[in-house]
Amino acid sequence: MKQLWLTAKLDIVESLRARWFQIYTLVFGGIVALLFLFGLTESRVLGFIGLSRLLVTYIQLTMAILPIFVLITTVRSVAGDREAGVFEYLLSLPVSLSAWFWGKIVGRYLVIFAPVFLAMVASVVIAIAMGIEVPWNMFGYYTALLAAMAACFLGIGMLISALARSTDMAQGAAFMVWLTLLLFLDLILLGVMIQGKVAPEVAVGVALANPLQVFRTAALALFDPQLIVLGPSAFVILDAFGAAGYMVFALAYPAILGVGAAFLGYQIFRRGDLP
Amino acid sequence: MIRFQNVSKTFRRARVLDGIDLEIGLGERVALIGSNGAGKTTLIRCLLGEYIHDGTVTIADREPRRHRTEVLGTIGFVPQLPPPLKMPVGQLIDFSASLCGTDAARIHDIAGRLGLDTAPILDRQFVRLSGGMKQKILIAIALGRQAKVLVMDEPAANLDPEARKIFFELLAERQNDATMLISSHRLNEVSTLVNRVIELDMGKVVLDDKVADDVSLSGLLACRVTTKRPEPALAKALTTWNFRDVADDGTAWEGEVAGPDRLRFVGMISRYVAVIDHVSLTEKAE
């Protein structure tokens, strides 16, 4: 356990000094600042006003940015470290492979989750200072959704890093994964599939397997419990899970997918050449 | 102590190690030499448990891959190219000391003996240090613990003569209780440090020979150099070896050369053979 925390601490310090982390923090802090600056708390959409409107917009923007950011920075730094000889040296020290791999995941998880979470906390603090009501339920669920999203894409990123033998290959693979998930969002390929007479169950099945779509639907479910904006597919989802069941699924499935991918990555890592 | 039994390693279709059988005992100082691509780095990585391979590698009857923490706890490793670590020097030392179960003060102490005061650079990123400073830190980490095996890849390449002298002294302090494996492209870089030479070529051992062990790691040679006329380039070179201009006109120089550094010194001075009048190297009593 000591080795795991030492490795996690090491990864945190390395990340805090990296340029990607500074940009990453600036992006999410900037989003919240801009949303306040443009008076989003005073606008109204679908009956949502105040901080809930801001949080809905924030989570939608985060869903667009966080996956690709986490995927690319994870594979770049892990595969890059391996290529540069960092693994050769640090893995010559007496640290177990499990402590090293999971320590890196723990450290990186804290580093990628902290800025998005702290940006949300900052919005709550500003809202309280401005006398705006805080929707605590929504804040809690969105925090859990962000935590699940970060775990999901970090796990996938670590799996790609374990598989790829070069930074270029890892970056290419990460981009392809993200692009594939993006293509299977409801607005793009799923629409085409339904137009092309593909069975609705298949389209909904694909949507449920796509973590990006799961996050989107769960975020919508908070202010559109009947999922009216999703059209007929809402019937399948709500019949299968119910509104509350789907919200639980939206947290559990991506988290399990991320941990599963990380576990597979660990098995590949420990059975192969390390540097 | 260290045993390689029929060790082979193939990358895709390229066989980099081909049935290596070696036994290296406690206290042996081995030069691992060979040209680029001979298999030196691959052999070292197999020894460190970083590569999967055919055959078995054991250190004190334990496989490094299976018993990582126990085996690697006994190995001090200095890579040829310092890793581009962004972490501060202080954290690297603390991290290594914690993992190796040693006192960080010991590492700072050895770095100090090598002429590197760590206090002003603790917050500096390791990657931003000069080549010599990085090498000193890595040597201090490797020697700052109770390692039974020292694996060093061109360890003295970036050190100045004074630091090399201290480095040889540090090795001398460990020569009876540690096995040393020193990798180099050229034998003359390491020949005076070792008592056995193993040469690899195309992944096979092509030479395994004991060498005369007359050079003391901590020995010193008193040296005097006189020249026909003052030569600024030679004066500059001798100054880096801490020689004194005893005639005050640049024609007579005196200084000390570490025993294992004699070949390097002779190599350096041979470049100025046209202006050299006299050279003497006399072994000093220890």
Q: Where are the alpha helices (DSSP H) in A91-189?
A: 97-129, 136-163, 167-183
| Whole-number Å distance between alpha carbons of B69 and A6 | 14
At residue A227 the predicted structure's pLDDT band, cuts being 50, 70 and 90, is low
Q: Distance, in angstroms, between B79 CA and closest chain A CA? A: 7
| Whole-number Å distance between alpha carbons of B233 and A266 | 56
Cβ separation A17–B68 shorter than 8 A:
no
> Would the pLDDT of A44 be above 60?
no
Judgement on whether residues B234 and B154 belong to the same structural domain of the protein: no
CATH number, domain at B102? 3.40.50.300
> Would the pLDDT of A266 be above 90?
yes
| Whole-number Å distance between alpha carbons of A141 and B220 | 72
Residue B113 domain-assigned?
yes
Judgement on whether residues B6 and B121 belong to the same structural domain of the protein: yes
Domain that holds residue B266: 220-283
The number of folded domains in chain B is: 2
Averaged pLDDT for residues A77-88: 84
Judgement on whether residues B159 and B259 belong to the same structural domain of the protein: no
Q: How many CB pairs under 8 A join A and B?
A: 82
Q: What per-residue confidence (pLDDT) applies to A187?
A: 62
Averaged pLDDT for residues B241-259: 89
At residue A148 the predicted structure's pLDDT band, cuts being 50, 70 and 90, is very high
Cβ separation A10–B84 shorter than 8 A:
no
Cβ separation B83–A89 shorter than 8 A:
yes
Flag whether residue A166 sits within 8 Å of chain B, measured between CB atoms. no
| Whole-number Å distance between alpha carbons of A95 and A73 | 24
Q: What per-residue confidence (pLDDT) applies to B10?
A: 93
Residue B64 domain-assigned?
yes
Judgement on whether residues B183 and B238 belong to the same structural domain of the protein: no
> Helix A97-129 to helix A243-271 angle, to the nearest 10 degrees?
150
With beta carbons under 8 A apart, name residues in chain B contacting A3. 69, 99
Cβ separation B96–A93 shorter than 8 A:
yes
Please spell the DSSP secondary structure of A202-231, one letter per residue: HHHHHHHH-HHHHHHHHHHHHH-TT-GGGT
The residue in chain A having the minimum alpha-carbon distance to the alpha carbon of residue B46 is A273
Residues 6+ apart with CB under 8 A from A2: B98
Under the phi-then-psi rule, with left for phi > 0, alpha for psi from -120 to 50, and beta for the rest, what region is A31?
alpha
Judgement on whether residues B255 and B142 belong to the same structural domain of the protein: no
With beta carbons under 8 A apart, name residues in chain B contacting A14. 85-87
Judgement on whether residues B205 and B69 belong to the same structural domain of the protein: yes
For chain B, the average pLDDT equals 89
What are A231-253's pLDDT values in tens digits? 556 667 777 777 788 889 989 99
Q: What per-residue confidence (pLDDT) applies to A232?
A: 58
Q: What's the pTM value of the predicted model, to 2 decimals? A: 0.82
End-to-end CA distance of chain B: 30
Flag whether residue A89 sits within 8 Å of chain B, measured between CB atoms. yes
Judgement on whether residues B175 and B266 belong to the same structural domain of the protein: no
ipTM at complex level: 0.81
Flag whether residue A118 sits within 8 Å of chain B, measured between CB atoms. no
Judgement on whether residues B135 and B225 belong to the same structural domain of the protein: no
Q: What per-residue confidence (pLDDT) applies to A18?
A: 81
With beta carbons under 8 A apart, name residues in chain B contacting A76. none
Query: A25: buried, middle or exposed (CB in 10 Å: 19+, 13-18, 0-12)?
Result: middle
Residue B215 domain-assigned?
no
Judgement on whether residues B250 and B167 belong to the same structural domain of the protein: no
Q: Which of residues 2-41 of A touch B (CB under 8 A)?
A: 2-3, 6, 9-10, 13-14, 17-18
Judgement on whether residues B73 and B52 belong to the same structural domain of the protein: yes
| Whole-number Å distance between alpha carbons of B90 and A169 | 34
What are B113-130's pLDDT values in tens digits? 999 999 999 999 999 999
Flag whether residue B79 sits within 8 Å of chain A, measured between CB atoms. yes
